[in-house]
Amino acid sequence: MIGMSVLGSTGSIGVSTLDVVARHPDKYRAVALSANRDVDGLEKQCLAFCPDYAVMADAKAAQELEQRLAGRGLPTAVLAGSAGLETIAALPGVDYVMAAIVGAAGLLPTLAAVRAGKRILLANKESLVVSGELFMREAAAHGAEILPIDSEHNAVFQCMPANFQQGLGQVGVTRILLTASGGPFRAMPLKQLVDVTPAQACAHPNWSMGRKISVDSATMMNKGLEVIEACWLFHTRPDKVKVVLHPQSVIHSMVEYQDGSILAQLGNPDMRTPIAHAMAWPERIESGVGSLDLFEVARLDFEEPDLARFPCLRLAYQAIEVSGTAPAILNAANEVAVDAFLNERIPFSRISGLIEDVLNQLPAEQNPSFELLLEVDTQARRLAEQLVAKQV
Ligand code: NAD
Ligand code: MG
């Protein structure tokens, strides 16, 4: 039996993970679940999965959950805060940790799982964006296996040769081709982008996801974060990672080889496929996702992304070129900007400008420690907040 901790179990990825777990009660057990402050959601999951531990990041919510679970006679121990998250990431009875907290808040618990040498099912791309180099170094030092959940990176992983860790050049790989749907505003006239609402930005044409990543998809910052994520996961440079607009979201990404071959992974846009892949790897298990009907898909389109329409993608390429603390600054400013947009404090069209202003005002430093990265994250958030406040 494989024990799993699910960090962020009430979110979009967390719910899909538990759906796959529930399909294989003979193979996987949810040992620990966690959420930020969604007491109702975590209570329901505890009733269904009876985990040993449940963690609420919010202390008050933890108290409330503890009372409710005791009232129902459940033996689940309730922990609180970042200490609780780090505890369930490193439990002896846990083999796999699903890292599905959204944002840089996922970094420390995911790092705790890495340091405990677990198999990490990595959905929380922000932790790699903030600290990719150190994160991968820690994983190697502690023998933690990193399996990508992000559909593009999971697709790339599936198309890579087994020995890709030797270096992409060594194994004949020339480029990673990351596909992107272009989000809900791919074809909207630029002038109209000023007035789009959070609800419009969160209505992704192909994928159903949490609100932050939905806005990231609409700005294409999501793809920018994924370029950075790909550089660290596959030990390569940004000029070897090409973004390809592919509106149907059927090809989840591709790997190009020096002999002219391109290998692609296709499937219905449902995160249970990459989740099941990473849970079972190197084997395969049923995920609940139906087979792709190629006759219904009928055609596949590809376009070059327009960096004038999607300045966030350009900013992400620039940040990974600069490297050091720049991607952490980019990520922190983006989290504040997206939150401000979702709370209707800034218009959609201001998101990229706000991030660029923060990047311009905070100089990047090279070879940062984790401590410096966390400090820079705080500084960048503070500056971004000030810029939002100035504007309102
Ligand atoms: P979501 O908003 O639906 O869920 C986030 C989860 O994290 C929830 O359980 C929430 O309670 C918890 N959480 C939020 N803030 C927290 C905090 N400060 N401390 C502790 N827990 C906290 O998000 P999601 O769409 O499931 O995305 C999760 C991660 O997976 C993100 O990093 C995202 O980029 C990545 N991802 C998501 C998808 C997708 O299809 N949803 C695809 C690829 C990658
Ligand atoms: Mg993705």
Say if 213 falls within a structural domain. Answer: yes
**Quick one: 241 and 357 in the same domain?**
no
Do 320 and 345 contact (CB within 8 A), yes or no?
A: no
Say if 334 falls within a structural domain. Answer: yes
H or E segment at 147? Answer: strand 145-148
- What are the pLDDT digits (tens) for 242-297? 999 999 999 999 999 999 999 999 999 999 999 999 999 999 999 999 999 999 99
Ligand nearest to the CA of 204: 1
Q: What is the distance, to the nearest Å, from the Cα of residue 118 to the centroid of all Cα atoms in its chain?
A: 18
* Phi, then psi, of 12 in degrees rounded to 5: -60, -50
Say if 284 falls within a structural domain. Answer: no
Identity of residue 294: L
Low-confidence ranges of the chain (pLDDT < 70): 392
Say if 125 falls within a structural domain. Answer: yes
Which pLDDT value is given to residue 191? 86
For residue 182, the enclosing domain spans 163-267+292-297
Which pLDDT value is given to residue 187? 87
Q: Which atom of ligand 1 is nearest to the CA of 109?
A: 20
**Quick one: 136 and 187 in the same domain?**
no
**Quick one: 9 and 139 in the same domain?**
yes
By most ligand atoms within 8 Å of CB, the mutation choice from 39, 46, 102 for ligand 1 is 102
Which pLDDT value is given to residue 392? 61
Do 380 and 332 contact (CB within 8 A), yes or no?
A: yes
Boundary (domain end) residue, out of 92, 115, 148: 148
Say if 317 falls within a structural domain. Answer: no
**Quick one: 11 and 96 in the same domain?**
yes
Say if 139 falls within a structural domain. Answer: yes
Which pLDDT value is given to residue 391? 76
Residues with CB under 6 A from ligand 1: 8-14, 35-36, 38, 57, 100-102, 105, 123-126, 150, 207, 209-210, 212-213, 271
**Quick one: 253 and 135 in the same domain?**
no
**Quick one: 40 and 177 in the same domain?**
no
H runs (alpha helix) in the chain:
12-23, 39-49, 59-71, 81-89, 107-115, 125-142, 151-159, 198-201, 211-219, 221-233, 272-280, 294-297, 311-322, 326-342, 351-361, 370-391
Into how many domains does the chain fold?
3
Say if 153 falls within a structural domain. Answer: no
By most ligand atoms within 8 Å of CB, the mutation choice from 209, 217, 271, 277 for ligand 1 is 209
Boundary (domain end) residue, out of 95, 113, 148: 148
C-alpha 67 to ligand 2 mean position (Å): 37
**Quick one: 65 and 138 in the same domain?**
yes
Boundary (domain end) residue, out of 86, 121, 148: 148
C-alpha 60 to ligand 2 mean position (Å): 33
C-alpha 154 to ligand 2 mean position (Å): 9
Which pLDDT value is given to residue 332? 98
Of all protein residues, the one whose alpha carbon is nearest to atom 18 of ligand 1 is: 105
**Quick one: 118 and 69 in the same domain?**
yes
**Quick one: 180 and 137 in the same domain?**
no
**Quick one: 8 and 88 in the same domain?**
yes
**Quick one: 140 and 253 in the same domain?**
no
Say if 331 falls within a structural domain. Answer: yes
By most ligand atoms within 8 Å of CB, the mutation choice from 5, 9, 10, 13 for ligand 1 is 13
- For residue 376, give the CATH number of its domain: 1.10.1740.10
Handedness of CA 150, 156, 162, 166 (dihedral sign): negative
Ligand nearest to the CA of 127: 1
Of all protein residues, the one whose alpha carbon is nearest to atom 27 of ligand 1 is: 102
- For residue 50, give the CATH number of its domain: 3.40.50.720
**Quick one: 10 and 129 in the same domain?**
yes
- What are the pLDDT digits (tens) for 202-230? 998 888 899 999 999 999 999 999 999 99
